[in-house]
Amino acid sequence: MTEKKNSAGILGTGWAAPEQVVTNADLERMVDTNDAWIVERTGIHQRHVAPDDMPVSELAYRAACMALKDAKVDPADLDLILVATLTSDRIIPSTACVLQHRLGAVHAGAFDLSAACSGFVYGSAIACQFIETGMYRKILVIGAETLSKVVDWTDRNTCILFGDGAGAAVYGAVEDGLGVQSFDLGSDGSGADFLDIPASGSLHPVTHEMLDQRMNFIHMDGKAVFRFAVRIMGKTVEASLQKAGMDKGEIDWLVPHQANIRIIQAAAKRLNLSMDRVIVNIGNYGNTSAASIPVALAEAAHAGRFKKGNVLALAGFGAGLTWASCIMKWAKED
């Protein structure tokens, strides 16, 4: 007889963003671009930018505190902390360990996860496995980024896209039948060079030559990434729906990675969803990579947009290339 699994779901959410905002009008004074072009092509009006002395762990901490309060969970009761980020405070130690100490999560293991913009859903998948088996009871999953620190502010093709922020969720056991129903995780390393920071590791260590060539900043083949994203976003949600034994018509809300409004619209069209059933905040934040989905999720949750039992589809794509989606039935009471 198969042992019954716990149902794993979200107990609380939180988000944080730096106070400083860089608008499209600000960018017009920095590079050859204009507000109308940026909005038409991306849907972005502004992005939040961290000051030089603010590490990503600070944003992660603020989002975590909000999520823990929302979940009514004490940090000492956490079993595990996962931080999805590509802009960690340092290569070592992990940002998760820095956060574990600052929160006072004295019983929690901690590690960082690298899956770029898909990272929060990847982390959620890991968390749910531990909870479903009963091995762990409370897990904090965070997506956090300070992309402004790795963006070349002289490159008009990339500096318009990215911003800083953090989103967090506390996972635990929820009422049977609710919570996460399925995941779809994927990767295609043949597209690894489409979106990267060339001088950021052992392949091309940071040298004066690398710095002179501005190889320590984000480089992106925008057209290739766009084509990949349009194809994969709807497809990965369909895969998660199939695993859950559900169909498109059962989705109440789509919470997509906020990279480009046209990509979001294409995914919604493929899933037969009107845009009023899609959570969109790209205009205020830009692309915050691993923070994108959890920030959108937390903002919507705290605004009371999700009702208990609503079916949510989370979907993201990112450098790697990676993609990830999940289907969940919202388990939190209003």
Per-residue pLDDT tens digits for 201-241 = 888 888 888 888 787 888 888 899 999 999 999 999 999 99
Say whether pLDDT at 54 is over 50: yes
Catalytic choice (48, 97, 128, 257): 257
Beta strands in the chain (DSSP E): 7-16, 21-23, 46-48, 80-84, 109-113, 138-146, 164-174, 179-187, 195-196, 219-220, 253-256, 311-318, 322-329
Which is higher by pLDDT, 78 or 212? Answer: 78
Catalytic choice (128, 159, 287, 326): 287
With contact defined as beta carbons under 8 Å apart, do 47 and 37 qualify?
Answer: no
Strands 322-329 and 311-318, bridge-based pairing: antiparallel
Q: For 184-188, 198-202, 245-249, 265-269, which range has the lowest pLDDT when averaged over its residues?
A: 198-202
For the question of residue 65 being annotated catalytic, the response is: no
What pLDDT score was predicted for residue 193? 92
Catalytic choice (6, 24, 97, 117): 117
For the question of residue 34 being annotated catalytic, the response is: no
Average pLDDT over residues 3-19: 91
- Give long-range contacts, CB 8 A cutoff, 24+ apart: 261-268: 261/42, 261/43, 261/44, 262/41, 262/42, 262/43, 262/226, 262/230, 263/226, 263/229, 263/230, 263/233, 264/43, 264/233, 266/230, 266/233, 266/234, 267/230, 267/233, 267/234, 267/237, 267/315
Say whether pLDDT at 2 is over 90: no
Which is higher by pLDDT, 144 or 217? Answer: 144
Which is higher by pLDDT, 11 or 205? Answer: 11
What pLDDT score was predicted for residue 3? 57
What pLDDT score was predicted for residue 205? 84
What pLDDT score was predicted for residue 215? 79
What pLDDT score was predicted for residue 236? 97
Q: Which residues contact 1 (CB under 8 A, 6 or more apart)?
A: none
Q: For 99-103, 189-193, 206-210, 294-298, which range has the lowest pLDDT when averaged over its residues?
A: 206-210
pLDDT bracket for residue 4 (50, 70, 90):
low
Say whether pLDDT at 284 is over 50: yes
Residue-averaged pLDDT of the chain: 95
For the question of residue 117 being annotated catalytic, the response is: yes
| Calpha distance 315→10 (Å, rounded) | 16
